[in-house]
Amino acid sequence: MRNVAALFALALSALAGAVALPGDVSPPAAAPSATAAQFRRAETVPYNARFTFTRIRYASPYGSRRGGFGFGGSAWNHDYPAADENMQIMLNEFTSVRANTDGSNVFELENREIFRNPILYISEPGTWGLTDEGAVNLREHLLKGGFLIFDDFEEDQWYNMAEQLAKAIPEGQWIEIGPEHPIFDTFFYVENIYVPHPLVRVTPSYRVIFEDNDAEKRIMVLANHNSDLAEYWEYAAQGYFPVDPTNDAFRLGINYIVYGLTH
């Protein structure tokens, strides 16, 4: 474990181009959200059969009162693009997954391009809105073998996520899983899967929907509730958070992606 931790630390310092800062440094104040036009300039990379981190852009059903209104809001793009790109770099460093390192993807669920990408990621689903067309595409994607990851949401934000997802998978039953499930050691062993939320005092939990609601089959949807793994991925190069939880956040993310690509 120490050797792996050392390798992660080396890779993180390579991201920064310098030695990481001590782990007790607080992150900076959030920067103003980029506009939709700014994101659209470099939101996708040409399809080349390599793994590309694929983030879903969405409008919020709650308007500006809850944030994330429209495609230029501050919900779907939280931690973008650094978290996505840093994860791809780590995949190349530690696994045989051939990941793109010159960009990542951002698509609406209404875009059929999602079917070129087996793993989809949604940030802050507490403000997520799912259209009828998006629900049809998401359902098809998941039933064809796709894998959906929810991250960065806390407490009663669960209810909006579950309500929206039910438009696509109304028959889906949520089941909480623990360290015994194989997804948590698909590639890396993680001693404590309950990586603390970097900013909020909550207790992480992991809930999933299995194919056909059968725990012996593959996971179709994974929700990191009371968790924000991508916050660690985003700031890995700056060292704003301690090395150990940052390493574990990457280990979990890599395990998820390897699982999604092999199931």
- Per residue in 110-148, pLDDT (tens digit) is 999 999 999 999 999 999 999 999 999 999 999 999 999
115, 107 contact by CB (below 8 A): no
Domain total in the chain: 1
CA dihedral over 206, 230, 104, 262, signed as positive or negative: negative
Separation CA 78–CA 14 (nearest Å): 23
From first CA to last CA, the distance across the chain in angstroms is 26
Helix residue ranges per DSSP H, the chain: 2-16, 36-40, 82-94, 132-143, 157-165, 229-234, 243-262
Instruction: Return the pLDDT at 121.
Output: 98
- Long-range contacts: 248-251, Cβ < 8 Å, 24+? 248/190, 248/191, 248/192, 248/193, 248/195, 249/195, 250/8, 250/87, 250/90, 251/8, 251/187, 251/188, 251/190
Q: Is the pLDDT of residue 41 over 50?
A: no
The residue range of the domain holding 136 is: 2-262
Cβ–Cβ contacts within 10 Å for residue 96, how many? 8
| Predicted local confidence at residue 101, as pLDDT | 86
Give Cα 85 to chain centroid, integer Å.
12
State the burial class of residue 132 (Cβ atoms within 10 Å of its Cβ: 0-12, 13-18, 19+). Answer: exposed
- The fraction of the chain above a pLDDT of 70, given in percent, is 79
Main-chain phi, psi angles of 186, to 5 degrees: -55, -40
pTM assigned to the model? 0.85
**Mean predicted confidence (pLDDT) in 90-119:** 95
Nearest to 122 by CA among 57, 195, 38: 57
